[in-house]
Structure 1
């Protein structure tokens, strides 16, 4: 290995998700001649809360779990961001995801700041009672920070509407009255919004529609590969098939399945419901998650976890459009290679902003105690996502930059404006 390659390899290993987010921030901020003081503010998180708390397990033993809640910035409104239950949740990743939330909300002009949280655990190995006990204790610990006017959590990897219901109930019990606006992504029966569960995936689909237009791709003839089949991946698959596209590959964490003629999504979902994985699925060829990324296709949707497209595999990506359904699925070097190849990348802070957009709708509905129809929710989501894509695409053309840098430029400029108007206390 040459000395330069060795140095680059060491640098790559050392770069955390937060480091990569800050790196991209500075790269975009240079186009705005952002003053050093604002750079310092926006590359630090305002609050970082870490808690270690006990949970009594079903067998009577006690386990101690570590939880996090980080506020990156609240200059544009209350903190907003998901809660992740995953074995690899760490403070550094939560910092990065909180910063991305600040930018994501600014890109789509939602009046929120950025936050993120989570618990280091394996939710699939917990019983329902253990999961509820963990959630309620964690909610109690972070109740110092959350509230309908302060910080509004939402679902993320490993959490769902039921977890949000437990958090809402715990917070409400502490207050002595029901506070539905403290959380979003909760069940419709207790104040959730119709359309919230599929909102992130629908937002990804809307941005793909817009990207296909500018690239001259007919979605009815498009071949689509999707990494991840949680709410986001499954929703994108459903909407793409409804639009006439062919989904040729899809995956879960343990691996995926490929069929050049197209997959039957209903059969795939039924198989996963029965077997908890895609292993042995008879309707296609087994592929690893890395092999899946390199398949021939028109549209690739990484909708799983971070750092999936890197310098090692980016040159093997064959799609014309990469739509980032996940947060941070592409490393900076991977992103550079994709752009050099002429691939249109729809960056995460734009592509998957449908979730926070409909979370905002839910928050508004909860506070007004007046609820919208699914038609209203989806129409307003489409309006915001379409307008945001066009704004980012125009900025990319104006500055001669890729879509990610354009999205960062737009977001940073909006947060900067908030600081200039509000001033710095005292």
Structure 2
């Protein structure tokens, strides 16, 4: 899979998108500069013992904006991580949180390693040492900066971070709120692992529901007849494909670094996932046409393309070969600004990353609230709701003399579980945020894309926060 993550232009691309949107806001230049700048960039190195010697690890933590506290953002474990990338991702987190009305500033972390080249013990040492460095500089804490999983990291790494923080902060009541994306056993939240992919599916579903917008690009409303290609079969890509299938779409293509597969009649995502786990590759999946160059997979016939891998995957070199009418950015920065300009001129719609993949931070917010309140969602009201609903059904049955079938009775009286409440909150957030962005697009003459509209909305919200804090007159 092509990747230009080492090119130091990702943050420049984010700033360009910001500047394009800023002209529609009317805010003073100084305030816009303050919003755009990265407030704190912490670059550090630390040694780990490896074999009979030592290895020095490069790492970063960037806090982009402190207009809200704490700041929030994942930690990326990748050999391709660099300072420019971490700054760009931190900035996107700021705007992303504002778009979905989550009260966090943006942050991001990076550790320059390839995780598969290290043993579990070595990864634990790296993660705990990284956390210790953040603690020493006051770059982590439930009210300061709250990391989360990102590319190359997951629940395991978050549990190491939480344990390290609690060990070094004994007696701190809200210590578990120092990180999100934790295992359920360590007071994580149900639905967090699949939240980003589910959010991508909600975003796409909401976009294609608008008949007027679909008619403009030659598609019908709804997901029922939509053909989808997904790039990346990691956590985000897999769950995006899974939920899009549940919503009625057909997955016709899947792309990974080893190649791509395509079947116009549809692919079973779980079967492909199992095939890759067994063979180490998606290639060779029965009934599918395969491409050794994974980028060719992006260019096959479809209605919706979901790049859910890394940044800079869709550029001026390949954008004109893309046959999709909608690109939904499951990854951060998969389309370059130049490619987006061309795609827009071609009549396509891009659902921007800063909204499309905001499901993860939305559910991380729910987990953080759970950790601060020290009670699981639904625990106090679930049984009460079930008893109240049962009493209501019993009363109706006694008054009407008719009994309700047991399967309908169970459906009616059921109280909401934590997972159901989380998914409901995520769905409402994605629906509301999409229409908020679309309303900005329609109400401000000159705005051409959903991305610009999303930036305008987030800039306005952040500007109001600075003014309310008295930081800006």
> Shorter-chain TM-score category?
over 0.9
RMSD: 1.6
1:157 to 130, 134, 151: 151
**SS of 2:73's equivalent?**
strand
What CA distance in whole angstroms lies between the structure 1 residues aligned with 2:111 and 2:11? 18
Q: Which residue of 2 aligns with 1:386?
A: 431
| Residue 319 (str. 1) matches residue 311 (str. 2) | no
TM-fit CA distance, 1:219: 1.2
**SS of 2:274's equivalent?**
helix
| Residue 194 (str. 1) matches residue 190 (str. 2) | yes
Give the direction of change, closer, same or farther, for the CA distance of 1:156–1:105 in structure 2 (3 Å limit).
same
Q: Which residue of 1 aligns with 2:362?
A: 357
| Residue 421 (str. 1) matches residue 468 (str. 2) | yes
TM-fit CA distance, 1:282: 3.4
2:43 to 42, 50, 59: 50
| Residue 185 (str. 1) matches residue 190 (str. 2) | no
What CA distance in whole angstroms lies between the structure 1 residues aligned with 2:467 and 2:200? 32
Q: Which residue of 2 aligns with 1:9?
A: none
Q: Which residue of 2 aligns with 1:32?
A: 25
What CA distance in whole angstroms lies between the structure 2 residues aligned with 1:130 and 1:272? 26
**SS of 1:221's equivalent?**
coil
What CA distance in whole angstroms lies between the structure 1 residues aligned with 2:123 and 2:283? 26
**Uncovered stretches (5+) of structure 1, i.e. residues with no partner:** 1-12
1:78-97 aligned at under 5 Å gives the runs 78-97=70-89
1:246-265 aligned at under 5 Å gives the runs 246-265=250-269
What CA distance in whole angstroms lies between the structure 2 residues aligned with 1:37 and 1:122? 40
Q: Which residue of 2 aligns with 1:212?
A: 208
| Residue 134 (str. 1) matches residue 126 (str. 2) | yes
**SS of 1:271's equivalent?**
helix
Structure 1, residues 25-52: CA drift from partner, whole Å, max 9, x if none?
Answer: 0110000122111122122211010111
What's the TM-score, normalizing by structure 2?
Answer: 0.85
| Residue 340 (str. 1) matches residue 354 (str. 2) | no
Is contact 1:76-1:111 (8 Å) kept?
A: yes
What CA distance in whole angstroms lies between the structure 1 residues aligned with 2:232 and 2:178? 29
Please, which moves more after superposition, 247-256 or 105-114? 247-256
Structure 1, residues 125-175: CA drift from partner, whole Å, max 9, x if none?
Answer: 111111111111111111231000000000000000000000010111101
**Uncovered stretches (5+) of structure 2, i.e. residues with no partner:** 1-5, 215-219, 378-417
What CA distance in whole angstroms lies between the structure 1 residues aligned with 2:31 and 2:287? 54
What CA distance in whole angstroms lies between the structure 1 residues aligned with 2:147 and 2:332? 16
What CA distance in whole angstroms lies between the structure 2 residues aligned with 1:170 and 1:298? 46
| Residue 408 (str. 1) matches residue 401 (str. 2) | no
**SS of 2:64's equivalent?**
strand
**SS of 1:334's equivalent?**
helix
| Residue 272 (str. 1) matches residue 244 (str. 2) | no
TM-fit CA distance, 1:177: 4.1
TM-fit CA distance, 1:221: 1.4
What CA distance in whole angstroms lies between the structure 1 residues aligned with 2:85 and 2:240? 25
| Residue 147 (str. 1) matches residue 180 (str. 2) | no
**SS of 1:68's equivalent?**
strand
TM-fit CA distance, 1:14: 7.5
Is contact 1:224-1:300 (8 Å) kept?
A: yes
Q: Which residue of 2 aligns with 1:233?
A: 237
Is contact 1:211-1:321 (8 Å) kept?
A: no
Q: Which residue of 2 aligns with 1:398?
A: 443
What CA distance in whole angstroms lies between the structure 2 residues aligned with 1:183 and 1:283? 43
What CA distance in whole angstroms lies between the structure 2 residues aligned with 1:422 and 1:218? 43
TM-fit CA distance, 1:18: 0.4
Give the direction of change, closer, same or farther, for the CA distance of 1:283–1:366 in structure 2 (3 Å limit).
farther
TM-fit CA distance, 1:403: 0.3
Q: Which has the larger radius of gyration?
A: 2
TM-fit CA distance, 1:15: 6.5
Please, which moves more after superposition, 197-206 or 208-217? 208-217
What CA distance in whole angstroms lies between the structure 2 residues aligned with 1:40 and 1:147? 27
Is contact 1:305-1:328 (8 Å) kept?
A: yes
Is contact 1:314-1:334 (8 Å) kept?
A: yes
- Equivalent pairs counted in the alignment come to 413
Structure 1, residues 61-117: CA drift from partner, whole Å, max 9, x if none?
Answer: 211110100000010231000000011100011001000000000001100000000
What CA distance in whole angstroms lies between the structure 1 residues aligned with 2:270 and 2:63? 39
Is contact 2:81-2:111 (8 Å) kept?
A: yes
What CA distance in whole angstroms lies between the structure 2 residues aligned with 1:79 and 1:272? 37
TM-fit CA distance, 1:425: 8.3
Give the direction of change, closer, same or farther, for the CA distance of 1:273–1:117 in structure 2 (3 Å limit).
same
Please, which moves more after superposition, 270-279 or 206-215? 270-279
